[in-house]
């Protein structure tokens, strides 16, 4: 821990937003691939929506990342070397693999839904067992969701260093919850948000939100005095009001209490999903910026 360290000065609309968008894509993707691995027929819709959500979001990631570089045209230097000590280095490679995996799943679903006709792809794709895709896909998803937290932990900035080693797990839980919310949002818009499988998705979201809450308490406790910029400084409102209250507590409350209120189920799903996504974004922005200024 070193108060003398300098802040990187990343733009929040690039790096913090990448953490959010990448985390959501990864969360959605590992839900999709885990369900492909262990799920039943009724989960097919969820995993399909997950794949449809993950790839477009994954496609945004390099735009954020390259946008923040001082020398954007040199981004390919990342792929001329591997540095196992640097999360930025192995994260770039992981993002490449994740992008490839989510692209394959995306195209596979387009073909399965008859929206795209390209027989050679299916022939090649189906030659490899689906379970293998599912395993590699889930691992890549967890990796993308989690390495951004490790990336922040492995610095000398007082707040980021003090929260070591919890940020990776927090970002995985938050990515899982916003990934589930993104899937729920798309399903609600397409009027598919009902049935036993969907309830299970909401259950999962609830579980990971509890985990997230636990980890938020954890980082505030382990960071101690170094949590000041987050819990009482410039980002306190964003963190407590946005990430914790609107992003976790209100959705949990809506989940628990909402079914008894008069609100229609689909509106409830819609509101909850939007709040969780907003909370996920504010969580990343407040945590990244608390060490970045």
Partner 1 sequence: MAKGMFVDTSICTGCKACQVACKEWNALEPEPSHFKGDPFKGGIAINFTGDSYDNTGSLSATDWRRVRFIEQFSDSREGGRWLFMSDSCKHCNDAGCLNACPVSAIVRRADTGNVFVQQEVCIGCKYCIPACPFGVISFNEKTKTVHKCTLCDDRIHNGLGTACAKACPTGSILFGDTGDLRKKADARLAQLKTLGQAKANIYGYNEAGGLNVFYLLLDKPSVYGQPENPVVPQRRLLLSTGFTAVGAVITGLAALFAFRERGARANAEVKQ
Compare residues 142 and 239 and give the one whose CB is closer to partner 1. 142
Closest CA to 142 of 273, 48, 284, 29: 29
Q: How far is the CB of 78 from partner 1 (least distance, A)?
A: 6
Give the per-residue contact string, 55-74, with partner 1 (x = CB under 8 A; - = no). Answer: -------------xxxx--x
Q: Report the run of H or E that residue 25 belongs to, with start and end.
A: helix 17-38
Q: What CA dihedral angle connects 53, 245, 201 and 125, to 10 degrees?
A: 30
Q: How far is the CB of 249 from partner 1 (least distance, A)?
A: 19
Spatial CB neighbours of 192, under 8 Å, sequence gap ≥ 6: 45, 49, 198
Output the CA torsion sign for 165, 166, 170, 173: positive
Q: Which of 21, 101, 166, 230 binds partner 1 (CB under 8 A)?
A: 166
Neighbours of 259 (CB within 10 A): 10
How far is Cα 267 from Cα 200, in angstroms, rounded to an integer? 18
By the rule CB under 8 A, 104 interacts with partner 1: no
Q: Which residues from 186-225 bind partner 1, rule CB under 8 A?
A: 197, 200-201, 203-204, 207-208, 211
- Interacting residue ranges for partner 1, rule: CB under 8 A: 1-10, 30-31, 34-35, 38-40, 43, 68-71, 74-75, 77-78, 80-81, 83, 85-86, 88-89, 92, 138, 142-143, 145-147, 149-151, 153-157, 160-161, 164-166, 168-170, 172-173, 176, 197, 200-201, 203-204, 207-208, 211, 291
């Amino acid at each position: 821990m070193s108060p003398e360290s300098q802040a990187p000065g990343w733009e929040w609309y690039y790096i913090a937003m990448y953490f959010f968008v990448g985390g959501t894509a990864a969360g959605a993707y590992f839900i999709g691939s885990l369900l492909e691995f262990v799920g039943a027929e009724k989960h097919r819709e969820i995993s399909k929506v997950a794949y449809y959500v993950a790839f477009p979001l994954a496609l945004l990631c390099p735009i954020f990342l390259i946008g923040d570089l001082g020398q954007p045209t040199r981004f390919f230097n990342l792929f001329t070397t591997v540095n196992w000590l640097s999360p930025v280095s192995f994260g770039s490679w992981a993002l490449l693999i994740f992008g490839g995996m989510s692209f394959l799943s995306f195209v596979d679903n387009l073909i399965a839904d008859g929206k795209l006709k390209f027989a050679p792809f299916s022939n090649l794709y189906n030659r490899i067992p689906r379970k293998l895709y599912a395993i590699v896909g889930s691992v890549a998803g967890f990796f993308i969701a989690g390495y951004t937290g490790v990336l922040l932990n492995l610095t000398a900035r007082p707040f980021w260093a003090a929260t070591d080693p919890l940020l990776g797990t927090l970002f995985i839980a938050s990515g899982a919850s916003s990934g589930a919310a993104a899937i729920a949002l798309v399903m609600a818009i397409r009027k598919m948000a009902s049935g036993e499988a969907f309830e299970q998705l909401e259950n999962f979201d609830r579980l990971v939100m509890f985990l997230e809450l636990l980890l938020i308490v954890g980082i505030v406790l382990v960071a101690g005095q170094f949590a000041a910029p987050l819990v009482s400084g410039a980002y306190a409102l964003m963190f407590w009001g946005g990430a914790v209250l609107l992003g976790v507590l209100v959705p949990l409350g809506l989940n628990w209490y909402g079914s008894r209120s008069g609100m229609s189920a689909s509106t409830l799903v819609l509101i909850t999903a939007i709040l969780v996504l907003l909370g996920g974004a504010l969580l990343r922005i407040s945590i990244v910026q608390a060490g970045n200024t």
